[in-house]
A = this chain, B = another copy of it.
Amino acid sequence: MDSARFVEPLIPLASLLALGSLVAFYFWLRRQDAGTARMREVAESIQIGANAFLRRELISITPFVLLVALLLLIVMPGESNWEVAGGFVVGSVLSMLAVYLGMNAAVHVNVRTAAAARSSAARALMVAFRGGGIMGLSITGLTLLGLYGLSLLFGVSPATPGHVHLLVGFGFGASFSALFAQLGGGIFTKGADIAADLVGKIEQGIPEDDPRNAAVIADQVGDNVGDVAGRGADLFESGADILIGAMIVGLAFTPRYGWAAVLFPLLSEAVGAIGAVLGVLAVRGSERRSPLFSMNVGFLATGAFCLLSYYLLATCVMRDVRIFYCLVLGLLTALAVTLLVQYYTGITLRPVREIARGGMRGVATNLIYGFAWGMESAVALKILVAVVNVIAFYLMGGGLAGVLGITAATLGILVMKGIIMAADAFGPIADNASGIAEMAGLGPQVRHAGDALDAAGNITKAITKGYSMSAALMSSVVILFAYLLSAAQLAGVSGEHLSSFVTFGGADPEGMVLRLLRSLNLAHPLNIAALMIGSTIPFLFTSQAMKAVGRTAYRMVEEVRRQFREIPGLLAGRVPPEYSTCVDIGTAHALREMILPTLVGVAFPVAVGFLMGPWALAFYLIGVKVVGATLAIFMFNAGGAWDNAKKYVEEGNFGGIGSEAHQAGIIGDTFGDPLKDTAGPSLHILIKLQNILGITLLPLFYALGLKWD
């Protein structure tokens, strides 16, 4: 019997363990003290705003999900239309559910973190981290549940291996609703953030999170709907897409590795889910150690468990130790990327210092340096990942097996997803807790504990960013191969001939590979045109996202200024502002603005596929990927570096608060905000959405006989 079958039960068990732990953590958290009446009041405003936003967002998305499901039902070839359309709906729904669970926890945990901070910083850390852990466990648990459940339902088995392709609908659904969630949340959060900073800090000179600022609740809501919900949706979809892509790639390896090659990605995710539970439990906080130390204990616990399990999986299930090396290579890549991101955005290092110093000679020099360092960071990261791809390829001996090496390295990055997501959601929770403490007028020792958590949150943010960048860069290669291998198999190239397709050697007795390669040829103008079009899509998308933030911020700035102008006694602190109007403006704008870019993201690959054929679409997709990834890294790191350059000046360097360098720093930060928190993360999703959509539509292109040969 295939050794894979023997360990298969690990998959549902890990899913149940993750979801069960989630429930346990949830009840544990509900039992924590929620603080004073004033704290609960502030928290409730955030809960109401965030839940209202998420509810309206889900309502807005639903008709589009149904419409796309209906279209899939109609256009997909008859033998798979129900499965693809149904999988699409399941993927969308589980993505929304995961996001809802995670964000709902976050908006209840923030106040409890602030309350715990009154007595114990260690306790506060534990509360906040477990709150983040709920998002981490919900996305890993539900991904596994959805993919494994659908595999059973669709009868994916060694007897019918092709049914693996039916899972793509699930990935498409997850990507589709993730793009809405990330865009909507990103537009909301940055519109509010810019307005709060601009009118509050620059014009009125009042501190961050000051209760007199009408945009301050909207800003806090934004942290939850943008950073928590958006990032959760992002990691849910990237997990789903990578796993499905890896399973499809695995199909090509069943002759060599048996069914284990297909199940391996799910087993790897199962290991990650168990590791995440262990990691969240291991973060306990300590009065003597820094919050970062406690979190590192969690990372180490997860990492050690995953490494050990990976070794067993590689040697006992796949029976090829080289796969373990590739997995380790992936983990090391994530680590190296994280270090690079820390160099380019770290507050005491050269890039950030130079950007901050540039501000002493005017805003333009601050902007120019930030732009330049951000671009350089993209180069460093991407060349690193390109080299890792080549190493993983040759580690498995090159050829078709080399593709499995790249896939394994990507899974090696993915395995830490749960704990990374927990640490990521921890950031906005701590941020919110500080805000609540400030607004509820808690004493300085609470604020001190909050600041320590906040600082830790900023570091975990850099880590998760590096992580998600390396995951995105590596995974897009895997998903591209899933596309190419699917297309090749549909075109009739299979088994050993697939080797001839990705290597310089190999046989082609029937001329099939020649036919295929002619179509995948760089020397065809249609392919070049597709590549050119694809390479512009990230620019189009970024442009739309930026304009959306600009419009939202523009309206909200107007509103905050109006309140300061028209509400007597507001600035003196005698009368509270109308927080809810800002929340409403953000909600209305975000929900309206998220629709067009998402539909454009779906329409382009469909149009290219139908007009130029499935092979040109491959070139289109790689165009989206190479440009999108570079642009996203640039935006992440430039935004992060501008943010920290401002903080560096605020710490008293180059003239400190109120100096010319500080004014320049605030402008750089405000400009960088939508780059790093709206456009950048959405681009990550867009790349995968288009790839998985391409794979989904391949059977349709094939059925229509579109320029297939």
Contact = CB atoms under 8 A, between A and B. Distances in A.
Nearest to A473: B532
A267 interface: no
Given A375-B539, A503-B524, A539-B634, 9 more contacts: A202-B362, A363-B667, A364-B553, A364-B671, A378-B539, A383-B532, A521-B521, A627-B627, A667-B667
A550 B369 contact: yes
Contact of A513 (B363, B367, B514, B634): B514
Interface residues of A, number: 92
Most buried by B among A387, A533, A619, A634: A533
Q: Please classify the interface of chain A as helix (H, G, I), strand (E, B), loop, or mixed, using the class held by over half of its residues.
A: helix
27 contacts: A194-B364, A194-B365, A198-B364, A361-B554, A363-B670, A368-B549, A369-B547, A372-B543, A373-B547, A375-B543, A375-B546, A376-B544, A382-B532, A385-B532, A386-B533, A481-B523, A500-B518, A504-B519, A514-B517, A517-B517, A517-B518, A522-B522, A531-B626, A532-B629, A535-B626, A623-B626, A667-B667
A387 B618 CA distance: 17
Nearest to A371: B546
Contacts of A517: 514, 517-518, 520-521
Given A372-B546, A521-B517, A198 B389 contact: no
B513 A382 contact: no
A364 B709 contact: no
B361 A525 contact: no
A214 interface: no
A694 to B, nearest CB: 13
Contacts of A389: 525, 528-529, 532
Nearest to A508: B514
A423 to B, nearest CB: 28
A495 B373 CA distance: 49
B521 A557 contact: no
B375 A532 contact: no
Given A361-B558, A390-B525, A484-B523, A533 B382 contact: yes
Contacts of A363: 363, 667, 670-671
Interface in A298-347: none
A119 interface: no
A540 interface: yes
B508 A364 contact: no
A627 B520 contact: no
A502 interface: yes
Given A626-B532, A627-B627, A372 B557 contact: no
Interface in A610-642: 618-619, 622-623, 626-627, 629-630, 634
A529 B387 contact: yes
A671 B368 CA distance: 6
Contacts of A379: 536-537, 539-540, 543
A674 interface: yes
A622 B523 contact: no
Given A378-B539, A389-B525, A550 B365 contact: yes
